[in-house]
Amino acid sequence: MAITKKRKAVNPKVDSNKIYSLKEASSLVKEVNIAKFDASVDLHIRLGVDPKKADQAVRGTVTLPHGTGRTKRVLVLCTPDKENDARAAGADHVGLDEFIQKIESGWTEIDVIIATPSVMPKIGKLGKILGPRNLMPNPKTGTVTNDVASAVNEVKGGKIAFKVDKAGIVHASIGRVSFGPEKIAENSQELINAIIKLKPATAKGTYLKGVSMASTMSPGISIDTKTFIH
């Protein structure tokens, strides 16, 4: 893929041989942003785990102190008695059978799906569609619950879900380039804190192997893991 003139202009600002502090990276990611829109700022965290082992498949949720900077579209799949609670909490879509049919037809224009335990048997058949998109409701991430109002409030308030991929890396959006450096750093630290708490007892050697930060279309910035408060 050809590198754009704008990308070529900012590439020299990031020293590929340098490992930056979290504070430096949080400022630099704003300087090297080339997107015309309010780009996402993402962390890519390489962990010393074997994701193939069930007890090392790190996954969880964290509420970022400054939110993600993006309003998430939330679908609540529930029985009629929970629909008013979901709507009152700010869910964008609420229902059950009609949305199951829409998803089966290819509709996935949502960011988070919350479901009540009683409807999960109906949703199971959607796994092939929702699983690859990380949209399948899961009790471990708080998206399978009877308290749909609290779940919607948490997602709208900046709660994100994360999980390690097959390569042992966690990818997560922790804000936007319009955020101040302090907010980017604080959201990053909160995510790292959550991941450290989930360190599997069976993981050997270095747990946080590497962290990089990048905004959409910008070069990646390597961060010294020692600059996170462990």
Is pLDDT at 11 greater than 80 in this prediction?
Answer: no
pLDDT at 5: 73
Share of the chain above pLDDT 90, in %: 81
- Give buried/exposed letters for 110-141 (b at 16+ CB in 10 A, else e): bbbbbbbeebeeebeebeebbeeeebbbbeeb
Q: Is the pLDDT confidence value at 212 over 80?
A: yes
pLDDT tens-place string over residues 67-95: 999 888 999 999 999 999 999 999 999 99
Residue 10 clears pLDDT 60, i.e. is over it: yes
Q: What confidence score (pLDDT) does residue 3 get?
A: 63
Asked whether the predicted pLDDT for residue 197 surpasses 60, the reply is: yes
Separation CA 169–CA 44 (nearest Å):
7
Distance CA 123, CA 22 (A): 41
Residue 1 has pLDDT above 60, yes or no: no
How does residue 55 score in pLDDT terms, banded at 50, 70 and 90?
very high
pLDDT band at 134 (very low <50, low <70, confident <90, very high): confident
Q: Has residue 2 got a pLDDT over 80?
A: no
Give the residue among 146, 136, 139 at the shortest CA–CA distance from 81: 146
8, pLDDT greater than 80: no
Strand ranges (E), 8-54: 40-47
Determine the pLDDT at residue 101: 96
DSSP code at position 125: G
Question: What is the Cα–Cα distance from 21 to 223, expressed in whole angstroms?
Answer: 6
Q: What percent of the chain has pLDDT above 70?
A: 97
